[in-house]
């Protein structure tokens, strides 16, 4: 059983560019959450998708947007990249709207230069 898979694993972008990160949830999971983890810090919640809609959003600007597809996979898009967007981006999947265990992927390391 494949767990949560994220692509790419590493990415280098130039300030001002746009980036798309991808996540496939664990089999049987229908809810996807995205987190940003800056170096040496704990993950920060960006947003969560369920039934192809954004259900909750953290304190992140509109430059951060997302999408969930009918097969439950998800994308995170970041526009107008800033140096401060450099971080590990983690995807987590879970089941439904209940407080069930979230499974995390290995993350995408984004470096903005």
Binding residues for another protein, rule: CB under 8 A, are: 4, 33, 35, 40-45, 48, 55-56, 58, 90, 92, 94, 97-107
Q: Residue 4 or residue 110: which is nearer to another protein going by CB?
A: 4
Strands (E), the chain: 5-7, 10-13, 19-24, 31-37, 44-50, 53-57, 64-68, 74-78, 87-94, 103-104, 108-112
Q: Residue 106 or residue 111: which is nearer to another protein going by CB?
A: 106
| CB-CB contact of 111 with 12 (8 Å) | yes
Residue with tokens 């995408």: 108
Minimum CB separation from another protein for residue 88, in Å? 9
Minimum CB separation from another protein for residue 15, in Å? 26
Minimum CB separation from another protein for residue 14, in Å? 25
Minimum CB separation from another protein for residue 16, in Å? 29
Q: Residue 48 or residue 74: which is nearer to another protein going by CB?
A: 48
Residue with tokens 């800033």: 82
With H, G, I as helix, E, B as strand and everything else as coil, classify residue 38: coil
Residue with tokens 């692509």: 7
Q: Residue 13 or residue 95: which is nearer to another protein going by CB?
A: 95
């Amino acid at each position: 059983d494949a767990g949560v898979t994220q692509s790419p694993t590493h990415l280098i972008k130039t300030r001002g560019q746009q980036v798309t990160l991808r996540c496939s949830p664990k089999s049987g999971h229908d809810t996807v959450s995205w987190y940003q983890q800056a170096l040496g810090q704990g993950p920060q919640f960006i947003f969560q998708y369920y039934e192809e809609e954004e259900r909750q959003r953290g304190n992140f600007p509109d430059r951060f947007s997302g999408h969930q597809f009918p097969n439950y996979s998800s994308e995170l898009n970041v526009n107008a990249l800033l140096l401060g967007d450099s971080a590990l981006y983690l995807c987590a999947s879970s089941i439904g709207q209940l407080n069930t265990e979230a499974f995390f992927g290995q993350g995408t390391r984004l470096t903005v230069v």
